[in-house]
Structure 1
Amino acid sequence: MQLTTFTDYGLRALIYMASLPADKMTTITEVSELYAISRHHMVKIVHKLSQEAFIKSSRGKQGGIRLARPAEFINIGDVVRRLEPLQLVDCDHCLITPSCHLKRVLSQAMKAFLAELDKYTLADIAADRNLKRIFNAEISVENLY
């Protein structure tokens, strides 16, 4: 299974926000520059994350974005379900649908994939101290390996 870049960058934005102190806000510009992606694309991602109540956003001079709840209460499977279009195949107009078992097999695979993601929270995947060091530019990614 390959996630869309939308979900990929949504998860990355959440990881970055999880690495910040709970009271610190960041900006869309900061996140998009950090990951070297289009600010326009990040605006759409942040809007969706806000709609789904993973983050809070506020406008104005003191505004920004931050997690809506502690990282240990944000389930990765839930994030993927809400950001990712999970229909793997469209069997509506397929000639072999009555005899084909592909949709059932893919559905079972998707359930197993999501069940594995459900085992983890944002806190689990953002817990590495090296992440905070990278985000604070204390070390470069190349020096980690």
Structure 2
Amino acid sequence: MHLTSFTDYSLRTLIYLASLPQGELTNITRVTELFGVSRNHMVKVINRLGQLEYIETVRGKNGGIRLLKPANQITVGGVVRDMEPMKLVDCSGDFCHITPACRLKDRLNQAKLAFLAELDDCTIKSLISDNAELITLLEL
């Protein structure tokens, strides 16, 4: 399975925000520069994370972004479900004429569920806890 860059940067952003002191604001420019992604792409990521209430966006001169949910309540599986289309193959009758007899779609669905179950056991907090190397790389 291949995650989109949208999901990748969503997870990276949440990891970064969780690494900041609780309640501290940062801005899109800082996140964009840190991860070397286009501002336009990061604005879309931040907007979606805000819509889903993972982060809080504060407008104004002293505004910025910060985690809204506690990092120990954000699972990687939940973020992936929220960001990814999660459709592995197109099983519509118009696209695939063997769909009525196909056993592959069930196996792929089971694999997807196992993949997500593994990610559900991982929180953003668990990714940053006792991770001094991460803090160094994030320049905190």
Which TM-score band applies after superposition, normalised by the shorter structure? Answer: over 0.9
- How does the TM-score come out when normalised to structure 1? 0.91
Residue 132 of structure 1: CA displacement? 1.1
Give the match for residue 131 of structure 1.
Answer: 134
Give the match for residue 141 of structure 1.
Answer: none
Contact kept, 8 Å, 2:23 with 2:67, in 1: the verdict is: no
State the alpha-carbon separation in 1 of the partners of residues 85 and 28 from structure 2.
Answer: 23
Amino acid at match of 2:123: T
Unpaired runs of 5+ in structure 1? Answer: 138-145
1:50-65 equivalences in 2 (<5 Å): 50-65=50-65
- 1:120-140 deviation line (CA, Å, top 9, x unaligned): 110011221111112127xxx
Unpaired runs of 5+ in structure 2? Answer: none
1:61-140 equivalences in 2 (<5 Å): 61-92=61-92, 93=94, 94-127=96-129, 128-136=131-139
Residue 62 of structure 1: CA displacement? 0.8
Runs of 4+ in 1 over 4 A off after TM superposition: none
Give the match for residue 3 of structure 1.
Answer: 3
- How does the TM-score come out when normalised to structure 2? 0.94
Q: What SS does the corresponding residue of 1:22 show, helix, strand or coil?
A: coil
Residue 116 of structure 1: CA displacement? 0.1
Residue 58 of structure 1: CA displacement? 1.0
Residue 77 of structure 1: CA displacement? 0.7
- 1:46-105 deviation line (CA, Å, top 9, x unaligned): 111011110000111110000002211111111110011101111112111111111111
State the alpha-carbon separation in 2 of the partners of residues 122 and 130 from structure 1.
Answer: 16
Alpha-carbon RMSD across the aligned residues, in angstroms, is 1.0
State the alpha-carbon separation in 2 of the partners of residues 90 and 34 from structure 1.
Answer: 36
